[in-house]
Amino acid sequence: MAVITGAGSGIGKAVAKVFCRQGAIVHLIDLSEGHTAEAMAEIKAEGGKATAHACDVSVQSQVQNVFNKINQLDILVNNAGIAHVGNVENTTEEDLDKVYKVNVKGVYNCLHAAIPIFKKNRGGVVTNLSSIAAIVGLTDRFAYSMSKGAVQAMTLSVARDYLSFNIRCNSISPARIHTPFVDGFITKNYPGKEKEMFEKLSKSQPIGRMGTVEEVANLILYLSSDEASFITGNDYCIDGGFVKLNN
């Protein structure tokens, strides 16, 4: 039984699909069930088993209600998150609070609801979505970088605190992954230059392209599997060489 947040599109949808292909029963969490309609249709077409839940991960009561309904859990993937562009001067208090509520408090809320279930089951696996922004300096990503650094810190804390309960917790740090969000960002900010900017952003990874959502989903699948049973308290970059080779 797996719970995936932000499962309506992009990485979250890819994770839900790859888990279902492996026979998992998957619960898709997103702001509205309408957001997960396409994912649910694709999973159903492939013969998968999934349930969609409307939930704002930044609201603890909503998260707790959903997890109470699910009640059984083996895997949690904390994928839901939002982006923000800005430095410390032009990031408003409202901007910071909005990013914090989803990217930090949202992860906390899901961990807070999931850990008691894992403890009861004497085991479970968490994968949190961080970002290379947590470990390298990126221009105009002040609030976003803050939030993803917090995700890595929470990952370490949970991994340490629940070793005796056979609960593993890791994070992954993607660089640029080709998602509908990236396409929308380019269209909004670079009208008429979409092709040029897509190529420029792709080549910022030393490997020469953006990652795919399927590549990220397959890494999460591995970390969630019994084959990864010796892995906890780690962060894995999936970045086309961005962190180590960009010099």
Catalytic residues, which ones?
A: 144
Q: How many helices (H) and strands (E) does the chain have?
A: 10, 7
Cα separation, 5 vs 28, whole angstroms: 6
End-to-end alpha carbon distance in the chain: 42
Cα separation, 53 vs 19, whole angstroms: 17
Positive or negative, the CA dihedral 101, 177, 33, 17 is negative
For 190, counting Cβ atoms within 10 Å of its Cβ (0-12 exposed, 13-18 middle, 19+ buried), the class is middle
